[in-house]
Amino acid sequence: MPPMHTTPVILLVTAFLCVLMLRPKAAGHPFWRAMATPLASIIGSGFLVVGPLLAHLMGSYALIAMAALCGAGYLFGSAIRSNIRLFEPLMTGGQLSSTLKWFERGSNYALAVAYVISVTYYLNLFGAFLLKSADVVDPFYSRLAASAVLMLIGTVGLFRGLGGLERMEVVSVSLKLAVIGGLVAGLTVINVGAAGSITDAWPKAHWDGMETFRVGLGLILLVQGFETSRYLGVRYDRDTRIRSMRYAQLLSTVIYVSFIGLALYYLSPGNGELTVGSETAIIDQLMPLSTAVMPLLSLAALASQFSAAVADTGGGGGLMSELSGGSLKANWGYTLLCACALFITWQADIYEIIAYASRAFAAYYMLQAGLATMLTWRAGERTRAGFHAAACLLGAAILLFGLPAETA
């Protein structure tokens, strides 16, 4: 039974962080706005499923696995940052070799496909979760809700550009982070109160061999999203995008690892059967923590999916503009991406094709890491080139051997 003061702690910390981050001075700060886009995508809907999923896959090893996933994400992020620093000046100056052009163009086409599918996926989950909170389960109305949000994002992107998308994004990211901060505070109270018995309540550590490893490779894509910074050049300079991406990855690592470590207290099979892959699994497991868990995590779920969709729209629109050589303006790129997502929403089973998006992200990271390897080697940065080569091999392993979480 949690202490009586757990709920007030959660609510007070959530409210404090919400006010702090939504102040005009904070919400309008250029660096925070640049950081909000990759952060929104990294801490997307995967945040809701990764805890129960890792606990099911490997028990208390989940904490080590989460740190490893974030480390792998940072390895890929380092390659993207090298490409911002070294590739973009060559592209602007028209000094690209045919090999460099192939790597960049191939990776960008893969990412464009992934962005369209991921935006569709996020907003279909948004619609389903919104209706479920009202006890309505109907695919038609779920698609209708997703379509309404897609049209909203596409319209804002067309008429207000990246700045308009960022305003929506900053609000939803701030709400999401405030809720997470409140839950972390509540979980800290519980874990401190449990003192020496914390690890005794954790799920038992286990490892089921190669299949667990292959699912783990696929889970690296749960922490993707940092690459959106690469395509925000219409608004931010290279140094701002590099620094904001790095800080977004570091902050998301702290959030993921601390949340998983503290939540393990409630992720033991003794607290009920884990519904692996379910968006509501984490809510079911954390319900004993506080009566505030259900409304707050429902709010975080909606904010996560909305902000991740807006973030990927922002990155995808800039990407489409780059692929067109600038003939397609970024504003129209946002609208085109939303139109494609709208088509998929009504014509395809998004839950079946999301596996293709995962493969597309893996291909993108592999090619971007390969590109970064060549560029840093030519620049005499041999150690950095070695890390990027390792990232390239990891991307290839994910592409060839990674399994979707549904197989867990």
CATH topology of domain 6-407: Amino acid/polyamine transporter I (1.20.1740)
Token reading at 237:
């300079």
DSSP string covering 1-22: ---TTHHHHHHHHHHHHHHHHH
Torsion on CA atoms 247, 250, 256, 261, rounded to nearest 10: -140
Query: Apex CA 101: angle with CA 98 and CA 102, to 5°?
Result: 85
The pLDDT of residue 408 is 46
Token reading at 108:
């960008």
Token reading at 137:
């389960």
Token reading at 114:
């992934």
Tell me if 317 sits within 8 A of 155, measured CB to CB.
Answer: no
Longest dimension (CA), the chain: 65
Helix (H, G, I), strand (E, B) or coil at 73: helix
Rounded distance between C-alpha atoms, residue 162 and residue 306, angstroms? 15
The pLDDT of residue 139 is 82
Enumerate the domain spans of the chain. Answer: 6-407
The pLDDT of residue 124 is 85
Rounded distance between C-alpha atoms, residue 339 and residue 153, angstroms? 10
Rounded distance between C-alpha atoms, residue 367 and residue 259, angstroms? 32
The pLDDT of residue 276 is 53
Tell me if 218 sits within 8 A of 49, measured CB to CB.
Answer: no
Rounded distance between C-alpha atoms, residue 149 and residue 136, angstroms? 18
Token reading at 243:
């620094």
Single-letter amino acid, residue 207: W
Identify the helix (H) or strand (E) that includes residue 302. Answer: helix 293-323
Count of other CB atoms within 10 angstroms of residue 351: 11
Single-letter amino acid, residue 3: P
| Closest to 344 measured CA to CA, from 352, 169, 291, 233 | 352
Q: Where does residue 195 rank: exposed (0-12), middle (13-18), buried (19+ CB within 10 A)?
A: exposed
Rounded distance between C-alpha atoms, residue 337 and residue 312, angstroms? 10
408 residues of the chain, pLDDT tens digit each: 555 678 888 899 999 999 999 888 888 888 998 998 899 888 876 777 788 888 888 888 889 999 999 999 999 999 999 999 999 998 888 788 888 888 888 988 998 888 898 888 888 888 877 887 777 778 888 889 889 999 999 999 899 888 888 888 888 889 989 999 998 998 888 888 776 566 666 778 777 778 888 888 888 878 888 998 998 888 899 999 999 999 999 999 999 999 998 888 887 655 555 555 555 667 777 777 777 777 888 888 888 888 888 888 888 888 898 888 888 898 999 999 999 999 998 988 776 777 788 888 899 999 999 999 999 999 999 999 999 999 999 999 999 998 776 544
| Closest to 122 measured CA to CA, from 358, 246, 307, 374 | 307
Tell me if 214 sits within 8 A of 401, measured CB to CB.
Answer: yes
Rounded distance between C-alpha atoms, residue 47 and residue 222, angstroms? 8
Token reading at 236:
């931010």
Query: Apex CA 312: angle with CA 306 and CA 316, to 5°?
Result: 145
What's the gap between Cα 294 and its chain centre?
A: 22
